[in-house]
Copies of this chain bind each other. A is one copy, B any other.
Amino acid sequence: MTFKVDFKVRDYECDLQGIVNNSVYFNYLEHARHEFLHANGVDFAQLTRDKINLVVMRSEMDYKQSLMPSDEFYVAVEPERISRLKFGFRQTVVRKRDKKIMLKALVIGTAVNERGRPFLPAQIDRLFTNA
């Protein structure tokens, strides 16, 4: 079952075009990924305190339609193994009232240790297995 996080657009997230600013989708996606990790026993803030940094290496985002003030939507998160040291998230932003996809994204990341060396802690590794 796909993991989902519910959101509602807040007015301060909208820009002078009257729609959600492009950069804000990045915030939504990040929050949904962190909630996904939490739900799977991984605490991003705690990892950071333990000197393990999860970092984004690449993002691809397709903007289909714009969220408007007060729109309710969810962000879906699907993990996908990219390579031995890279993990990915397929994410979609879906407006609730008509199930329209507003945005599709692929976000690829890795984890780095205190010396900046990439490595995947076991608790992350096990979340991204090949289908």
Interface residues of A (CB under 8 A from B): 10-12, 14-18, 21-24, 26-27, 30-31, 34, 38, 43-45, 48-49, 53, 55-63, 66, 68-70
Contact = CB atoms under 8 A, between A and B. Distances in A.
Residue with the highest number of chain B CB atoms closer than 10 Å, among A21, A23, A62: A23
A128 to B, nearest CB: 18
Nearest to A29: B23
What secondary structure prevails in chain A residues at the interface with B? mixed
Contact of A45 (B11, B61, B66): B11
A11 B58 CA distance: 19
Contacts of A60: 58-61
A96 to B, nearest CB: 17
Contacts of A59: 22, 59-61, 63
